[in-house]
Amino acid sequence: MQFCTATNTNEINPFTWPRLVELFRDSDPPTLQNVHYIPSDHPNLALFRRSAAAQKAYERHKIYLKSCWESAYDYLVLSIFGEWFGFERVIVSRNASEGSELVNQFEGRCDIPPNGCVYRASPSLTQASRYTTDNQITYLSLVPNNFPYDVDEGIEHWCLWKIGGSSSTESISMEEMAWALRELQCISENSRGCIIHRDGRTFDKPDDASRTPANVGQVRKSAAISDAIYWVNPPHLQSMPEICHAHILVLRSEEMCHRDEYSAPCPPPV
């Protein structure tokens, strides 16, 4: 079966919601558990791709990370979690000359460190993971994907990022995904986050408009979720394998506003 068709300019069409349903939902009647969840071993996950423009921006972003940050993970925890979760940006000397010649091309366009230096996150991802697991605390951050997959206009691509839990290798639980789906029901275009303590207390992070990626379309609060799918990429498809994260695609509908509020089923562990 041909899943994607080429346009007259030899570009691949974005995934529409009917195509996503065809690719990832069985012909059997859906249940509360399989209607939203895509198993990580689903073969069609490899079909996801970015648009040509998004891929070009992503490749340029990787050069920026190599030039200005000690590692991509340092940038990630600062941009995804940030100060509210206790992360700070520090300036350190560059360990090697590799990448230093690339910094100048970002001057005036991106936040760059002083000459001969790079940015680092404090604490590091490793330190934060150790602290959260030792204290059985979970950090969750729900943000729009900066470089979304090539989906049709009106489909939102979100990522749920996680640090901590009972172990450093713990995946995203059904309760954590249910929290994300509830947040997406009433969220604006801004990111959200929460800290979950071992005693069950949850502290929500307020909306932070300053962290909203400029290339992500606005989400209308008045439009309720009409459908959603989510998954965790298998290891060979993960761009950031050292930090647990799930992808969520959301479709909204004005018509749903006049029905009962969308109720996300309790999803299986991902």
Q: What would the pLDDT profile of 130-187 be if each residue is shown by its tens digit?
A: 999 998 889 999 999 999 999 999 999 999 999 998 776 788 888 898 888 888 886 6
Residues 6 or more apart in contact with residue 6 via CB below 8 angstroms = 12, 13
Domain boundary among 71, 99, 129: 129
Q: pLDDT, tens digit, for every residue of 186-219? A: 665 556 667 766 666 667 765 443 333 333 333 3
Query: Exposed, middle or buried: residue 182 (CB in 10 Å: 0-12, 13-18, 19+)?
Result: middle
Higher-confidence position of 167 and 118:
118
pLDDT tens sequence across 5-53: 433 334 589 999 999 999 998 765 554 455 689 999 999 999 999 999 9
The answer to whether 81 touches 87, Cβ cutoff 8 Å, is yes
CA distance between the termini of the chain: 28
What is the C-alpha to C-alpha distance for residues 162 and 268, in angstroms, rounded to an integer?
16
pLDDT of residue 5: 41
pLDDT tens sequence across 219-241:
334 468 889 999 998 888 888 88
* Cβ proximity of 122 and 85 under 8 Å: no
Task: Reply yes or no on whether the pLDDT at 117 is more than 70.
Answer: yes
Domain limit, last residue, from 109, 129, 149: 129
99 in the same domain as 24: no
pLDDT in tens, 58-88: 999 999 999 999 999 999 999 999 998 999 9
Could you tell me if residue 42 is left (phi over 0), alpha (psi between -120 and 50 degrees) or otherwise beta?
beta
The Cα–Cα gap between 189 and 216 comes to: 8
Q: Report the C-alpha gap between 21 and 16 in whole angstroms.
A: 9
Residues 111 and 43 in one domain: no
The boundaries of the domain holding residue 90 are 55-129
Does residue 26 fall inside a structural domain? yes
DSSP, res 51: -
Give the pLDDT band of residue 96 (cuts 50, 70, 90).
Answer: low
Residue 269 belongs to some domain of the structure: no
Pick from 176, 177, 162, 91: nearest CA to 125: 162
